[in-house]
């Protein structure tokens, strides 16, 4: 077993997040910000997760000349039309605020 196997045996946590990808790490960050004692369990080291190796990073309509509609069109094109429109809508509408939250979290660290 890699990592520190004792961590799960000797400590108590308020939140255990299973998965070290972007969603899991975001959840862990938010729980820790609220005062939770957080443990992240990942099958692989975090530097080997799919999110770490994602080619495009993350995307959001943040610039004045960009819009959620353009982001949606790009997302649907990249997904070759196979994306669920309701999921794309949630993504492009919520992404700017989440990216700003991530940027703010980096400055608090």
* Its pTM surpasses 0.85: no
pLDDT tens profile 37-73: 999 999 888 888 877 777 666 788 999 899 999 999 9
Q: What is the DSSP string of 39-96?
A: EEE-SS-GGGSHHHH-TT------STT--HHHHHHHHHHHTTT-S-HHHHHHHHHHHH
């Amino acid at each position: 077993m890699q990592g520190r196997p004792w961590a799960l045996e000797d400590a108590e946590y308020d939140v255990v997040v299973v998965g070290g990808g972007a969603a899991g790490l975001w959840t862990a960050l938010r729980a820790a910000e609220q005062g939770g004692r957080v443990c992240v369990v990942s099958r692989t080291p975090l530097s080997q997760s799919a999110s770490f190796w994602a080619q495009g990073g993350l995307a959001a309509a943040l610039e004045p000349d960009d819009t959620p509609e353009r982001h949606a069109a790009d997302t649907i094109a990249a997904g070759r039309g196979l994306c669920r429109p309701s999921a794309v809508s949630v993504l492009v509408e919520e992404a700017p605020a989440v990216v700003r939250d991530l940027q703010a979290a980096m400055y608090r660290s």
